Structure 1
């Protein structure tokens, strides 16, 4: 509700994504176009729907306020387009990794030296992990060892998915500094 100088209630055109009535207006006005944008990029119906719904969730969680419906539409199109492009890039990387694993030689020969290096690396990693701050250590452990995705970690810890991504990145950076990239044996 907006009041003018005289104190009279004036109709406001701004839309609040966190308000259920405004959210419904935004959804009804933009769903078709957002789906078309996402589907053109990802070429998968279910994925396109998920990406569009994620954009609405993002607008609502951030309590976005849009001056007009056009502003809401343009913002959501940008969010959906970027999310769709990121999905396609991620899918491409996953496919390359899958192909690489399929065609790699899987024979493993170990020697006493490689076993010793592996044990030393595990100890260094555990030691470095224990030196991380609690908030960084817990997201990294949940991501790498519990094999949880960012959304699940966010729900578990009560933080946003974006915050989880930032913490995982920072944890990996700090681990690299603590361990030193040349001092680790990986096989």
Structure 2
């Protein structure tokens, strides 16, 4: 059977097609069926990898190595755990290996990375930090004053509970209650601001690129 990106995605999203059946096809010689497994777990594995490694190129390398090693050892998958769990374990091992390798190269890479590249990376981080700062500041500003004042005094200025209570002429218990409510309100505001966002998404061309590269390695 010939698989296009669209058909592979359709099969990957079909709950009636089990992982075991796809594995059986691959082991039976239908190499192209492996693409369905990748399409099914690309985004999940990407999000997990990103909790270990932040560099996008490194993450893509980790994903590729994970899928290639999983393919090479697919016959050893005995179904004692879910395929997704088995893939995740391989991914974590690859991520940890990447971290170990990177740590050994850090000193050397610092010597060869040009100052201009470092400036660009620093500028990107500054933009991200500024955007996040604006979101948080807006959320704090939106709190009722009795909550925002307690939050700012305690969390931003580092005043202890007793100092805040004395400054506002309220009980220490009242300070704790207001601080708790302020944090809950901020969590809700930030949660709503993220509604509809697909954080750490891994689709489109990136998904296609990883899948195509792995399939090319498998075929050869």
TM-score, with structure 1 as normaliser: 0.40
1 or 2 for the larger relative contact order (CA 8 Å, sep ≥6)? 2
Indicate the structure with greater helix content: 2
Indicate the structure with greater strand content: 1
TM-score, with structure 2 as normaliser: 0.34
